[in-house]
Amino acid sequence: MFDIGFVRTEVWHALSVHFPVALLFFSTLTMFTSFVIKSDSKQSWRSAASGLLYAGTIAAWISIYTGNLADGIVSRKICDPTILKDHEIAAQTMTYLFTGAVVLNLILMFEALKSRLRLILSFAILLLMMVGSSYLVYTGHMGASLVYQQGAGVYKHSVDCDEYK
Partner 1 sequence: MKPYKIIVTALAFFVLTSCGEKTDVVESGVYQGIVHEVEADKSEIYVKTDDGKLLELYFTETTTLTKDGQTVSFNELAEGKKVEVEVKKEGKRLDPVSVKILE
- Binding site residues, partner 1, CB under 8 A: 71-72, 75-76, 78-82, 85-86, 88-89, 92-93, 96-97, 100, 120, 123-124, 127-128, 131
Closest approach of partner 1 to the CB of residue 104, in Å: 10
Among candidates 59, 56, 65, 85, which has minimal Cα distance to 10? 65
Cβ of residue 43: shortest distance to partner 1, in angstroms? 23
CB of 93 to partner 1, least distance (A): 5
- Burial (CB count within 10 angstroms: exposed 0-12, middle 13-18, buried 19+), residue 86: middle
Contact residues for 80 (Cβ-Cβ < 8 A; gap 6+): 150
CA distance 115 to 39: 20
Considering the complex, state which of residue 16 and residue 134 has its C-beta at the smaller distance from partner 1.
134
Comparing CB distances to partner 1, the nearer of 48 and 77 is 77
Nearer to partner 1, 62 or 121 (CB): 121
